Amino acid sequence: MSPIISISINESLKKFINKLVSKNQYENKSKLIRDALLRLMSTIDVSSMDLASELGPIPKKIVGNMILIAPNDYLIQKKLNRIESEYKEQIVSKNVNFVNQNSIIFMIFEGQVQDFQKLVVEINSIKEIKNFRYLIVN
């Protein structure tokens, strides 16, 4: 189970978050905040921060797995294929199963943590995806 963190925000940020969720840009508030943090992590050089000792060493290469459920639709598959082609060197395995009108996609990623973060953000940007889970194994 993931740890829960409480934060305080002003009313305008709260309205902005609620608007993004209600317009189906994001499935829920947690997913929106996680995506925002991943985007921030991919733009900041963590090694230059004093957090290095607190975070522990960040491995040069990681292995991550992903599972996503998306409608079996040509345009959605085209979006996914475009993203996958950008990361073809890092996606070492991919399996697709078709259940009803959905594609269930399993992927194994091996590469830099920053690339994994970028890949996750890009996949999260496809609003038609019904469910998306990922895990860094090491």
Q: Which domain holds residue 33?
A: 11-136
Which residue positions in the chain have pLDDT lower than 70? 1-2, 25, 39, 41-60
Does any domain span residue 67?
yes
34: closest CA among 59, 11, 5, 9? 5
Does any domain span residue 1?
no
Is residue 103 within 8 A of residue 70, CB to CB? The reply is: yes
At residue 53, the pLDDT reads 56
Q: How many domains does the chain have?
A: 1
Does any domain span residue 3?
no
3-state secondary structure of 32: helix
At residue 84, the pLDDT reads 93
At residue 45, the pLDDT reads 58
What CATH number does the domain containing 89 carry?
Answer: 3.30.70.1150
Who's near 38: CB < 8 A, 6+ residues apart? 117, 120, 121
Does any domain span residue 6?
no
At residue 130, the pLDDT reads 83
At residue 58, the pLDDT reads 53
At residue 80, the pLDDT reads 93
